[in-house]
Structure 1
Amino acid sequence: MTAPDSDPSSDPASAPLDTWHRLAGTCVLLDGFHALKHAVRFGADIPVAVAVDRAAVLALADDLAPDIRDTLAGLLTEVAPGTYANLVPRPHPTEVAALAVRPSREAALEKLAHVPRTTPVVVLDNPRNLGNAGAVIRLAAGFGATGVVTTGTLDPWHPTVVRAGAGLHFATTVERLAVDELPTGPLFALDPEGDDIRGIKLPDDAVLAFGSERAGLSPELRARADHLLSLPMRPQVSSYNLATSVAMTLYHWSTATGSPL
Structure 2
Amino acid sequence: MNRTDAVGPDAAVRAWRALADTSVLLDGFHAIKHALRFDARVPVALTGDRAEVLALADELAPDVRDALDALLVEVPEERLRALVPRLHPTATAALAVRPSRAANLDALGRMPRTAPVVVLDDPRNLGNAGAVIRLAAGFGATGVVTTGTLDPWHPTVVRGGAGLHFATAVERMDIAGLPPGPVFALDAEGDDIRGLKLPDDAVLAFGSERSGLSAELRERADHLVSLPMRPQVSSYNLATSVGMALFHWSAGRPPGLET
TM-score, normalization: structure 1? 0.95
The answer to whether structure 1 residue 159 and structure 2 residue 149 are counterparts is no
Of residues 210, 231, 237, the one that matches 2:233 is 237
Q: Partner residue of 1:34?
A: 30
Deviation above 6 Å: which 4+ runs of structure 1? none
* Separation of aligned partners in 2, 1:55 and 1:182: 46
Matching residue within 61, 73, 79 for 1:77? 73
**CA distance in 2: counterparts of 1:46 and 1:21, whole angstroms:** 14
Deviation string 1:142-184 (CA, Å, 9 cap, x unpaired) is 0000000000000000000000100000000000000001000
The 3-state SS of whatever aligns with 2:186 is strand
Question: How many equivalent residue pairs?
Answer: 252
Contact 1:27–1:99 (CA<8 Å) still a contact in 2? Answer: yes
Match of 2:49 in 1: 53
Cross-structure match for 1:17: 13
Q: Which of structures 1 and 2 has the bigger CA Rg?
A: 1
Structure 1 residues 259 and 194: CA distance shift in structure 2, 3 A: farther
**What is the Cα deviation at residue 258 of structure 1?**
2.8
Secondary structure of the structure 1 residue equivalent to 2:52: helix
Task: Give the aligned residue type for 2:211.
Answer: A
* CA contact 1:126–1:151 (8 Å) conserved in 2: yes
Q: Using the alignment, how far apart are the partners of 2:231 and 2:102 within structure 1?
A: 44
Q: Deviations over 1:57-112 (max 9, x none)?
A: 00000000000001000000000011110111311100000000000101111111
Q: Which whole-Å CA distance do the structure 1 matches of 2:175 and 2:142 have between them?
A: 17
For the pair 1:214 / 2:200, whether they are aligned, the reply is: no
Unaligned runs of 5+ in 1: 1-9
Does 2:131 match 1:135? yes
Distance 2:210 2:183 in 1: 21
Match of 1:195 in 2: 191
Is 1:92 matched with 2:61? no
1:1-36 Cα shifts (integer Å, max 9, x gaps): xxxxxxxxx981111111100010000000001000
User: Residues 7 and 73 of structure 2 are in contact (CA less than 8 Å); yes or no, is this contact kept in structure 1?
Assistant: no
Other-structure match for 2:146: 150
* Letter aligned with residue 242 of structure 2: V
13-22 vs 118-127, greater mean Cα deviation: 13-22
Q: Is the 8 A contact 1:203 1:257 kept in 2?
A: no
Once residues 203 and 258 of structure 1 are traced to their aligned partners in structure 2, the CA distance between those partners, rounded to angstroms, is 13
Q: Distance in 1 between matches of 2:123 and 2:144?
A: 12
| Aligned residue number for residue 3 of structure 2 | none
Q: 1:185 aligns with which of 181, 185, 189?
A: 181
SS class of match (1:156)? coil
User: Any idea what SS the aligned residue of 1:25 has?
Assistant: helix
Give the letter for the 1:22 counterpart. Answer: A
Identity, in percent, stands at 72
Partner of 2:121: 125
Equivalents in 1 of 2:141, 2:239: separation in Å? Answer: 14
Q: Secondary structure at the match of 1:19?
A: helix
